[in-house]
Structure 1
Amino acid sequence: MSKHLPVLLIILFSSFLVFSGCQESVQLTTQPSGAISQMQAIPFEFSVDLAPKDQLNKWTESSFVRFTPPLSGKFIWETPRLLKFTPDMPLEPARHYSAVIQKAVLFGKKKRTDFDTLKFNTQLIEVEGVSATWSEYSSYGMKAPIELTLVFNQEIVVRELKNYLKVYCNGEEVTDLNIYGYGTDKEVRIYLEGKDNAGETQQFQLQLKAGLPSQYEYATLEKPAELTTLLHPVAEVKIQTINVEIRDGHQLLVMETNQKISPKILRSYLKVSPETPIQIENYGNKMHIKGAFKPGSLVNVSIRKGLHGLNGGELKEDFSYNLTLPDLEPFLRFTDQKGYYLMRNGFENLNVKCVNIKSFEVRLYEIYENNLSHFISENSDQFIRTDYSYDYGVDIDNYGRLMFLDSIHLPNVEKNTLQNRTINLQKQLRSKYKGLYAIELRHNSDRWERISKVVSLSDIGLISKQSPDEIIVYANALSSARPLAGARVQLRSVTNQVLATATTNGQGIARFQHLKEKLQSGPDGWVPSLITAHYGDDFNYISFRHSEVYNGRWENDGKEKKQIDAFLYPDRDLFRPGDTAHFAAILRNWDLSTPPDLPVRFQILGPSGDLVLDLKKTTNSQGSFEVQVPLSSGATTGRYRAQVLSTSKELLNSISFNIETFVPDKIKVSLGSDSKDAGPGDTLLFPLAASYYFGADCSSHSYEYRIRFQNQSFYSLNYPRFNFQ
C-alpha cells in the first residue's frame, strides 16, 4: 500500500484545487476611500449578487462591516450587490477610519473572498484660503497695516500658529507679524505694516508647517501648505470673491474686497438680478447681502465703476458676476426649541418644520422616574437646546423604554420649500401616560440628520423659590390654575437621592426647611437638583438647572433679621434753612406684631458726621412716633442723616435728606439766530429777549455772553474719499 500512497495524495490534492478553483470570487467594486463627508451613507458594492431578495430594502443592524473607531448605525441592501451603511450620527471631523468586511455579507454562500482592510477619513485639517486687505486706516502715501485673513476648515489653536507660519511679501520674509485672537478659531487675522499703499500690486506667500494643533486633540495639520494672495494698491477697489453662504437656513451673498466699503455707498452702485429687496451689512472687508433669493436660481451681481472704498480706493471698471444658488440642505427642526412642558389632556401637539425631506422617523421614549436625575444631569444638554447644531447622540435606552416608533411621509414635497407637520402625542399615549418623554426625529435615509427634544406631559404646574435654608414649592393645576392640595413633593439630589419629602397644604404650598444643616451633614452628592410632584396618577418635575431665573440684577439679599424692624420717612427729602422738618417712624416686631410703649432714640447727623440732634421717643399704641425738627436759619447746607436706634444703640433704620439754599428762576431768556447758514466774512446776529416769569419785560439789565464755535465733520457721497471739517 505504501507504493500507492503518493499517487492517492496527489489525486486528493488535485481534486481540492479543482473544487477550490470552482468557487466564485467576490471583489469590491465600490468602497469608501480617501476623504468622505461627515454626513453621508457609506457604500459597499460587490462584483456578484450576495443579498437574497427577501433582504432587500430593509434596515438592519446586522454586523456586515466592522468599523474602527466603532460606528453606530444601520445597513440596507439596495440591490443584491449594493450595501449601504447609514451612521446614526455625523462622523467625527478630521478622523481616520478603517473598515473590515465580515463573512455575514455572503449569507452562507460558498464564495471566495480576499477583502483588504479599507481605510478612509473625514476631511482632514486644511487651509481653505487666504485674503489680503488694507486696514480701515490706510490712506494715500502712508504706511498702514495690512490685514491677512487665514481661513481653515476646522478651528485651530491660534496661539500656536506663529510657530508654524512664515509670511513673505514680494519674496522678502515679513517678521513683524501680529496674530490676532485667542483660543481656537477657523478664521485668523494677521496684521503687518504696509510698505507703499499707492505702489504696485503686492504678492504675499504664506508657508505653513505640518503639525499645527486643532481644536481636536487627535487631529493636526498633516501636510504642509503654501498659499499665495495678491494685495492691489489702495487706490483701487478690487472685488476679490463673491460666494453663497447659508446662515440659519437662509442664503446670502458674501462679497470680499481689498478694502472696507460703506454699505450706504455700495447700495447706490449695486444691482442684483432678479430684483429683490436687499439688506447690506459689512463685516470688515466682507459685505453680507441678504435678500429673498430663490434656491436653485441664477443671480447676477453688478457693480458700477466709481465705487469708493473707505481707504480712498475706486473701482476702475464695471463688475458683473453670475452665481447659481445651491439647493437648501435638508433639515428637520422643532418649531419650538425652548419649551418642554405640555398640558395633560390638552391638544398635546408638537409642530415640526422641515425642508427637502420626504419622510422622517419618530421615536418616543419614556424616561423612568428613578432615572430622571441622571438623565437630566448627564444628557439634557443634548435635548434642551436653542441652536440647530447636530448632536452626537444619547443612548436613551439606558434611561427608559421606547414607547412608539413610526415613519411620517410627506407626499408631494415642493423642493426648497418649508414644510410644517404636527405630531400628536395624544394618539400615541392615549391620555393614560404621564411624566417625562424624549422625542427623537430622524431622517429615514440620512440618519445623521436628527433632532431631539424633552417633553413633560402633566397637569401639575410647579414654581419653586430657594433660599440658603429653605425651598418653597407652589403646585397648581395648569388646566384651572387652582391650588393642588395634598400633592406629594420630593426634593432630589444630583445622584437621585430623596433629600426631603413634603405635602402641599390647602394653598398648594410645600416647604422644605432647615436644609443648610441637612445638606452640610450629608454626603458630597447631596446637592439639590430637581423637584418632583405626584398628584393622584399625575407626575411632573422642575429642574433647578434649566428653570432657574437669574436674579443677579436685583437686590435680593433681604433684610437682616432683627428683633425690631423700623420704617423711617420724612415729609420730603429737601429742606431750606429755617424750615420745619417732619419725620415719622413705624416699628414692628420681626413677626409683624406691634410693640407698644417701646423706648427708642431718634438722631440726626450733620454733613460732617457730627451729632446734631438726639431725642428719646416712645412708640404709641400703633407702634409709631412722630418728630418735628425746626431747622435753624443758619443751618449748614449739605447732606444729613436721620436714624432710629434701640435703647441698646442698635441701628434699626436710617434715611438721608438735604438742606440747601436755593432761589428759583425768575427771568426767562430766549436766544436765537438770524441765519442758519453763513460764509467767511458774513456777520451773524443773535437776537436776545429777556422777561420776568410773572411781570414786565426785563429791561435795563446788564448781561454777559459767550460764543463758542465747534467744528463738525461733514461727509459727502459725491466725495467719499474726503472728510470735511
Structure 2
Amino acid sequence: YLNNLFFLFQYGGFFEDEYGYAGELNHALGDRLKEVNLNVGGRKNKKRVYPLDLDKYVKTKEPGLYRVSVSKPDDNQANQRWLLLTDLGAVAKRGPGQFLVWVSSIKDLSPVAEAKVTLISDQNQTLASGRTDSSGVWRTDEAKALAKGTPYMVTIEKGDDFSFLLLNQMTVDTTGLDVGGAEPPGEGYQAFLYGERDIYRPGEKLQGLAVVRDGALHVPPSMPALLRHRDPQGRELEVRKVTTGDRGLSPFALDLPAYSLTGPHTLELEVAQKVIGQYRFQVEEFVPDRISVSIVPPKGKVGPGDTLQYQVQSSYLFGAPAAGLPVESRVRLVDSTFAPKGFPGFSFRNDDRKLADKEVLSTSAKLDDEGRSEFKVEMPAGAPVPSSLEAVITARVQEQGGRGVAAMQRLQVHPYPYYVGLRRAGGAEGGEGFAEPGK
C-alpha cells in the first residue's frame, strides 16, 4: 500500500538487498497473494533456469509494488526481487532551495499532467506537495519547507496508479560527468559574448554581441564597459569603449588585420576593472571547399561474384564540371547484420562464423570532361559470412591546390540468395525465452 512504503523501506523490506527473510512481510505492510511449492527438477549442484509465469499470481492490470521471494525448504533466508507495476516514470532534481519532479508515461513517454506529487522527509513528514502541470513537471522553491527535514522519498499518484523515488538510493552517478555548471556571480555582473562563428581568416571582420546580466539574471542599467582584444601570445591588441544599453546588449565589430597572428584570440568585457565575460575564437588561414563530390551506386542488387560498378561525379560549386582532376577510390567489404522489417525478434546471424574487413579496391584515375569517372570491382565469393555484407565506397577528388574533397557511400551486398532466421521462444518482442520440456 502506498501509505506503507515509508515503513516498508525503513523497517521491514530489505528493499535494497537481493536477500531477505523467507517469511512473509508484516501483515500491516501488505497482503500475501500466493505461496506455492516449485519442483524445479534437474540434478543436484547443477544450475538450472526455471521459467516462472508471474501472471498466475500477480494481477498485472493492478499497479502496485510486489515482492517475489524464493527459498529452500527449512531455510530462513530467501532470494528476492521487487516488481513495481506502474506507468508513471519519474525523474527528480534538487537544487539550492528548489525541488523539481518530472513525470512521464512509461508506455509512450508522454507527459503526465495532474499527477499528485508528495515530497516526504526521512521522518515521514510531508515537506511539500502539489500536482504536475501540462508538461508533467512539478516544482517547488519553498526553501523554508525544504529546510524542515531531509528529503527521503517522492511519491507520485495518478488515479489508481502510483510510483515512487527513493532519493538516497536511486541517484544518478555523475562520476566523470561535467555537471558543475557556471558559478553564480552573486553580487556584480556577468556577460556572455559570442560571434557569428568561432573561426575567422586574417583580414575578415568579426561581428558579435555581448549580453550583460546581474547576479539574478536581470537586465542591469546602461553602463560603460571596455572591450579588450588579446592575441594568442596574450598581448593586448586593442581596447575600445562600449555601452551596454538599456537592454543589457552591446553589439561589436572587430577588424582582423591581414597580418593577424594565427591561433586562439580572446575578447574580454571589463566593467569596473573586472572581467565579466570572455569570447574565445580562432584566427586561421583556411580555404573553403570549391568542389562537390558524389558517388552514384548501381541500381540493382550486388552479391558475391558479381561486378560492382559505380560512378564518381564532381563539379565546381559554381556549376562547371571538375574536368581533369585526379580522383582516388577505395572499396572495403565489412561485416553487416541482415535485419529486415517485419521480423522483430528474429536473428539472421551465425556468430560462429568470423569475417574480417577486407579492402577489395584501391585505385586512382582522372575525371573526364563531364567530371565523371567509372569504377569496377568484382565482389569476392566463398567467404564464411556471419550474416550479410556492406560495401563501403569512398572517393577523394584532388583540387588544383592539392587539397582533397571526399565522399562516401554504403551499399548492401547480399552473400546469400535467401536468409534463414530464428526466433527464441520468448516471442516476437525478442525476450530471453526458454525451452519448454516436451516441446
TM-score normalised by L of structure 1: 0.34
8 A Cα contact 1:488 1:504, kept in partner: yes
Conservation of the 8 A alpha-carbon contact between 1:488 and 1:503: yes
Of 237, 245, 265, the match for 1:612: 237
CA separation of 1:410 and 1:437: change in aligned 2, threshold 3 A = same
Are 2:222 and 2:244, in contact at CA under 8 Å, matched by a contact in 1? yes
**Aligned with 1:548 (options 167, 171, 189):** 171
CA pair 597-449 structure 1, distance change in 2 beyond 3 A: closer
- Corresponding position of 1:655: 279
1:559 to 153, 168, 182: 182
Contact 2:42 2:48 in 1 (8 A): no
Q: Distance in 2 between matches of 1:417 and 1:519?
A: 50
Q: Distance in 2 between matches of 1:397 and 1:503?
A: 32
Determine which of 563, 568, 582 is the counterpart of 2:194. 568
For 1:497 and 1:640, the matched residues in 2 are separated by: 55
Tell me by how many angstroms 1:401 deviates. 2.9
Say which of 252, 255, 264 aligns to 1:626: 252
Tell whether 2:46 aligns with 1:423.
Answer: no
CA deviation string 1:434-488 (max 9, x = no partner) = 3323222222x25246211222222222121222221211122333433222111
In structure 1, list runs of 5 or more residues that go unmatched. 1-367, 663-692, 696-725
Give a deviation string over 1:258-317, Cα, whole Å, max 9, x none.
xxxxxxxxxxxxxxxxxxxxxxxxxxxxxxxxxxxxxxxxxxxxxxxxxxxxxxxxxxxx
| 1:513 and 2:141 matched | yes
Structure of larger gyration radius: 1
Shift of residue 567 of structure 1? 3.1
Distance 1:403 1:442, change over 3 A: same
The SS at the match of 1:403 is coil
Q: Which one-letter code corresponds to 1:644 in the other structure?
A: L
Residue matched to 2:86: 458
Q: 1:407 aligns to what?
A: 36
Q: Give distance in 2, aligned partners of 1:573 and 1:567.
A: 15
Following superposition, the deviation at residue 409 of structure 1 comes to 3.1
- RMSD value, Cα: 4.1
Counterpart residue identity of residue 277, structure 2: N
Distance 1:491 1:371 in 2: 15
Higher relative helix content? 1
Structure 2 residues without counterparts, runs of 5 or longer: 287-399, 403-439
Counterpart check, 1:439 vs 2:68: yes
Partner-residue secondary structure (3-state), 1:402 = coil
SS in 1 for 2:93: strand
The CA deviation at 1:571 is 4.5
How far has the Cα of 1:406 moved from its partner?
1.8
Matched AA of 2:8: F
Q: How many residue pairs align between the two structures?
A: 283
Report the Cα distance in structure 1 between the residues aligned to 2:101 and 2:257, rounded to whole angstroms.
52
Task: Name the CA distance, whole Å, in 2 between partners of 1:661 and 1:485.
Answer: 54
Structure 2 CA distance for partners of 1:398 and 1:608, relative to 1, 3 Å: farther
Deviation, 1:593, is 9.1
Q: Deviations over 1:594-622 (max 9, x none)?
A: 99987543112356755432112346999
2:193 maps to amino acid: F
Q: Which has the higher contact order (CA 8 A, sep 6+)?
A: 2
Identity over aligned pairs, percent: 21
Given that residues 12 and 25 in structure 2 are in contact (C-alpha distance below 8 angstroms), is that contact kept between their aligned partners in structure 1?
no
- Give 1:552 shift: 3.4
1:497 aligns with 2:90: no
Partners of 1:396 and 1:497 in 2: how far apart? 24
Per-residue CA shift, 1:189-218, capped at 9, x if unaligned? xxxxxxxxxxxxxxxxxxxxxxxxxxxxxx
- In the superposition, relative to structure 1, how do residues 412 and 441 fare at CA in structure 2: closer, same or farther (>3 Å)? closer
Cα distance in 2 for residues equivalent to 1:428 and 1:437: 10
Deviation at 1:643, TM superposition (A): 1.2
SS of 2:110's partner is coil
- Is 1:644 the counterpart of 2:273 in the alignment? no
The aligned residue for residue 49 of structure 1 is none
Compared with structure 1, are the counterparts of its residues 374 and 468 closer, same or farther at alpha carbon in structure 2 (3 Å cutoff)?
farther
Q: Identify which of 523, 526, 531 aligns with 2:154.
A: 531
Letter of the 1:629 counterpart: D
Q: What TM-score does the superposition give when structure 2 sets the normalisation length? A: 0.53
Cα distance in 2, alignment partners of residues 658 and 432 from structure 1: 60
Alpha-carbon distance in structure 2 between the residues aligned to 1:655 and 1:587 = 12
Question: Does structure 2 retain, via aligned residues, the 8 Å contact 1:374–1:495?
Answer: no
> CA offset at residue 532 of structure 1?
0.2
SS at match of 2:130: strand
Partner of 1:372: 5
* 2: CA distance, partners of 1:378 / 1:543: 14
